[in-house]
């Protein structure tokens, strides 16, 4: 198993119940912590790691002799939202020298249709000196893990599998069938499997963009989006999406892989890129709305105190990758506001290293002119109403980005706003 993050580690643990597994990652600190039973992603419980027979290593030489490789490394986008294959290419360069005839290399990283065979195959050939499709073969099985979701673990989600040819497909399917209780879906080709993965998240992105656009309209009309969605949801075929900040390593990234391939082939996607523009602009929209309200109420000055509660890309996970709450934090800064941020699930050192943001403890997070409840972690919500009188000043403002609060419980002089 190459890559032991949010995707790779659960796959490695599942595979280790039926096969001999070596878990490889270039992050030495990650390997040391996993050996101690510590998974900072929170996906695998300590006792399961300690009891697991996986051999963790940061030395690629330790995987020599393996004949089935699973690669699960990040595939982000760069500053211009172009696909960044550098980590995937590096993984191929590391694996290549230890490949031997008869090996199968399966990729789980999200890519555009064609990338596995057009990028990974040639890189493996170059690094190994072997012939792709003859000496070794490729497979692709896109990850469908939802971080923090204990109701839909790996074993309960149908797994798409594909192979470079029929023989490779059956081997790949045979391996995954032993660990996926929900079964596997055999795609007709690697490109079909790749396209299916980016489509899944692109569909969600577009639906959320529609809700975000609707929330702007509802705000202008003077009605609550949540009440509109509740009413519309009484129809049997209404899709229950909600507005919000779209970050993370999937929905906010994957559509760019699809659009980049389309543009490479001479087609300019309109709907997909439009949805991306809407969702990427929501942090600025929220910041603008907060500042407008403060100015209108005469509360925008050098002493204005704005607190952001929750900095991860979604609730109940410590994952800060591509968090749009960070964009909101920075957008407020452009208006001259220095927000105070607090998140009980985030490693403070990691947040400061990645984004230069210093998180404060809950004890120093109080008396806000504006409280932005950005990520309603379970731990946060357990005490939110007990804490609320200390969190917001009288006459202050509460921005409930996910509409999880009962606004009727707020003090009468507190202004409530939500997407």
**Would residue 250 show up in a list of annotated catalytic residues for this protein?**
yes
How long, in residues, is the chain? 419
Q: Which of 2, 218, 250, 399 is catalytic?
A: 250
Provide the pairing of β-strand 159-163 with 392-400.
unpaired
Integer-rounded Cα radius of gyration of the chain: 23
Cα dihedral across residues 3, 6, 11, 16: positive or negative? positive
Task: Say how far apart CA 368 and CA 373 lie, in whole Å.
Answer: 12
Task: Say how far apart CA 287 and CA 274 lie, in whole Å.
Answer: 21
Phi, psi for residue 337 in degrees, rounded to 5? -100, 135
Would you please indicate which residues are annotated as catalytic (active-site) residues?
250
């Amino acid at each position: 198993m190459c890559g032991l993050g949010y995707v790779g580690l659960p796959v490695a643990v599942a595979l280790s119940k039926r096969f001999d597994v070596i878990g490889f990652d270039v992050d030495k600190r990650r390997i040391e912590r996993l050996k101690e039973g510590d998974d900072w992603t929170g996906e695998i419980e300590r006792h399961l790691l300690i009891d697991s027979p996986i051999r963790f290593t940061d030395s690629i030489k330790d995987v020599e002799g393996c004949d089935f490789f699973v690669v699960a490394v990040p595939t982000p986008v760069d500053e211009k939202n172009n696909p960044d294959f550098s980590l995937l290419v590096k993984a191929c360069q590391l694996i290549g020298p230890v490949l031997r005839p008869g090996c199968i290399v399966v990729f789980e990283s999200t890519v555009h249709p064609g990338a596995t065979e057009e990028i990974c195959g040639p890189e493996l050939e170059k690094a190994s000196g072997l012939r792709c499709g003859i000496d070794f073969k490729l497979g692709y099985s896109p990850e469908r893990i939802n971080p923090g979701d204990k109701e839909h673990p790996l074993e309960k989600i149908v797994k798409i599998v594909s192979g470079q040819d029929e023989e490779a497909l059956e081997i790949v399917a045979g391996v995954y069938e032993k660990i996926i209780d929900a079964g596997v879906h055999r795609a007709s080709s690697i490109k079909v499997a790749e396209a299916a993965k980016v489509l899944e998240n692109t569909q969600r992105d577009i639906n959320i963009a529609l809700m975000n656009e609707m929330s702007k309209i509802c705000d202008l009309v003077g009605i609550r989006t949540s009440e509109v969605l509740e009413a519309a949801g009484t129809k049997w075929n209404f899709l229950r999406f909600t507005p919000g900040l779209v970050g993370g390593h999937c929905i906010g990234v994957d559509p760019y892989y699809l659009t980049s391939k389309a543009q490479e082939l001479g087609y300019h996607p309109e709907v997909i890129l439009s949805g991306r523009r809407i969702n990427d602009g929501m942090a600025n929209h929220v910041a603008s709305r907060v500042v407008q309200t403060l100015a209108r109420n005469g509360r925008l000055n050098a002493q204005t105190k704005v607190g952001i509660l929750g900095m991860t890309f979604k609730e109940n996970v410590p994952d800060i990758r591509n968090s749009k709450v960070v964009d909101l934090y920075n957008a407020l800064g452009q208006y001259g506001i220095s927000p105070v941020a607090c998140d009980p699930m985030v490693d403070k050192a990691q947040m400061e290293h990645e984004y230069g943001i210093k998180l404060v403890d809950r004890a120093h997070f109080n008396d806000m002119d504006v409280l932005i409840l950005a990520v309603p972690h379970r731990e946060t919500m357990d005490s939110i109403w007990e804490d609320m009188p200390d969190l917001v000043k009288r006459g202050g403002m509460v921005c409930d980005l996910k509409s999880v609060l009962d606004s009727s419980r707020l003090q009468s002089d507190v202004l409530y706003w939500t997407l």
